[in-house]
Structure formats: C-alpha cells, structure tokens
Amino acid sequence: MITWRAGVVVSRGAAWTGAVEVQVRLEGAPGADDAAEPVVLPAGTEVRALAYPSLVGDPAVGDRVLLNVSALARGLGTGGYALVVALPDAPPPDPAPGPGHLVKARYTPLQALVLGVDEQESAHHATLRDADDLAGMPVVVADLHSALPAIIAGARHAAALAGRPAPKIAYVLTDGGALPAWFSRTVAGLRAAGWIASCLTAGQAFGGDLEAVTVHTALLAARLVVGADLVVVTQGPGNLGTGTRWGFSGVAAGEAINAVGVLGGRPVAALRVSGADLRDRHLGISHHSLTAYGRVALLPADVVVPVFEPGPFEGLADSDGVPPLESGSLDALGARVHQQSLALGTPVGRHRLVPVEAGSALLAALAASPVRLSTMGRGLAQDPAAFLTAAAAGVHAARLL
C-alpha cells in the first residue's frame, strides 16, 4: 500500500502558498537487508520531496523526515515528488483553539480539521443555510486542472474585447485529483496575479481560501460569499485514468454540470480536446468529455465547440525544446472535433452546441498567461488545440455576463 522511507533534509527549494520543496537524502529501506531483489530508492539516494507546513510542519536543513515514496518508486504522478508525512523529531505545535469541525481526508493518517464555509460555526452559515440559487451565474466545468488558466485567459480576453473589466472569478477545486490545493502552483500563481479571487476546496479536497462540504455549497459560497461573477470547476492536478470507459476521475465533470443546473446556474462545458495525443480515444474530443457530458450530465449545458482559425498559426513559441505542431495541423482536427461534438448536441444529445472562434487573437491571450500552460506534459506550442478549446469556453462564459 505505502512505500516508506526516512531521510534527512539536505536543502530547501522553491516555496509557494501552503507548500515547500526539500531535497532529502534517504536512509536505508525497511527490510532491505533481507530483500531478494535490488531495493528501489536505496540508502544515500537524494529525492525531491514536498511538504505542506500546515499539516506536517516546516522542515529545515538537518531535520529528519518520514516520506511516502509510493508513487515516486513506481514512476507515477505527484509531480515527481516524495511526500513528507511527518517530522518525527520536530512536529508542529498544536493549532490554536478555534471553530471548525469539518474533517477532510477523513480517516487517513493526515486527516485535517478545518472550518467549513457552510458549517454551523462559520460566519457564513446563515447566508448558506437555505441558499439554493446561483441566479444564472455562468459556471465553466472542465475535466483537467490544466484547463483552469486557459479558461480564465479566455474570459479575460472576451471581457477586454467588450470594453468591460475582467470578471471576478472563483475556482472550485474538486477532489478527483490532488486533495491539497497547496499542491497546485497554478492556483498560487493565478491568485498572485489577481486572476482568481478565491479558491474553494470541495468534498475531500482542502487548503482553499474557503472549505466546503460539497460542490453545491462551494458554488453557492462562490456567489454569495466571494461575490464571484463567474466560477470554474475542475479537479486538482493529477487526473486518474485507467483506459476504461468509466474508470477516470473526470467523470465528476458530468456531476458538476448537474450541480450547476440544479442550483439554477448556467453550466458551460469545456471540452477536453487534443491534437497531439497519440491515443485515438483522446484525439479530438476525448472520450472523457464524451462520456462525462454525454452520459453523466443529465441537465443541459452550453458545450463550447472551438472553431479553429484556418491555415497556420503564427507565434507558437518553442519553450520546452519540443518542435511546434506543423502548420495547418488544426484544420483537420477542427473537422474531427465538429463531427464528434454532434453526439452531444440536440437532437442527438441534450446540450446546446456553441461555436466560438479560437484563432490567433485567443492564442495571444493564452501566451500572456501568468502561469505555465501544460497539459499531459505538452505546452501551448505542442498542443494549442487543448488550450484554445478551454479558452473558448471562458470566452463564452464571459459573454453570458
């Protein structure tokens, strides 16, 4: 279940809201002397680890740390990090007494007690107790966390074109990926740039500016407490997929559409699109979007279909040493996306298909993002369709205001 290692902090690295990187030199693996096979991550190996000071304390050079290296040892996600579980010789002090009885990451060794925006001890409980209406507020729902900055870039771009100030945007982080909002450098960067007014963590996710029990109360708090004009809902970093029709964490995108619709909001579905994914099930519109919006979402939404600019795109920077896609490659992709989208719109599906131009002007808006754009390891130059599609959803949402 868990691969454990202990080690000593040899240096500190980057830090952002709620998180700090450390370099750790490992001690020997438990039972290594009796192991028949070579030990993965043996003594003396140095690994990059991530600590959440609010949970485990703030590790200093020389501190001994206990690590969970399960994903690292298997070469899986978590950003290439080992995760600090405890500082056994320097645990943090007890938190100050205060309100809050909402437990997140429940019944795990690192369950955290937080004050929920919707619970009885919250100053906002009276506001949310009988709240039941988003009053038509547009809510963009996406599958991948990487869509978040692109959606916001599109919304800000549309507002600027209309001569209006940028909308006040709240982000609801669901619990399909990373549970701590602190893991996301994207959220930290967007907040620092003033692109999001608040991050709300829903379900088992935690570490947002406001904590909520469900997506429903997170949405209501975004409107009634934060005062947001527009909301984006997507999971944290770390999408989980199994190559099966139903075994992927993005299924929750369809459930989020239902939550928005039930509460009287205006659901806007951002499609997961790729022109660079080598897997046919993700080329064009991903089967994740077709399943979540076509089968799980039972209430109608505006499904934004990008209309790519014909011909070559100009100005795609090669920022990661990977050649940009060939000129004109989005022409055929656009035709594929259009054809696939027909399965979601009436009369075949239940949704409204909304075509939105996704050309060079929107590409320039994306290039100005204050945070790095990356999806499945590909940047804007390698998979412009992914980000243009998400940005187009933001454009449409801003036009609804």
Model pLDDT for residues 202-212, shown as the tens digit of each residue: 999 999 999 99
pLDDT value at residue 236: 95
pLDDT value at residue 181: 97
Using a cut of 0.85, tell me whether the model's pTM lies above it.
yes
176's tokens: 């399909």
pLDDT value at residue 223: 98
Name the pairing type of β-strands 198-202 and 4-16: unpaired
Domain extents in the chain: 4-86, 128-399
Buried b (16+ CB within 10 A) or exposed e, 52-85: bbbbbbbbeeebbbebbbbbbbeeeebbebbbbb
pLDDT value at residue 144: 96
pLDDT value at residue 281: 82
Q: Give burial (CB, 10 Å; 0-12/13-18/19+) of 110.
A: middle
Classify domain 4-86 at the CATH class level: mainly beta
pLDDT value at residue 35: 57
Q: Is residue 198 classed as helix, strand or coil in its secondary structure?
A: strand
pLDDT value at residue 319: 47
pLDDT value at residue 321: 45
Give per-residue pLDDT as tens, 357-372: 999 999 999 999 999 9
pLDDT value at residue 327: 46
**Intervals of the chain under pLDDT 70:** 31-38, 77-79, 311-329
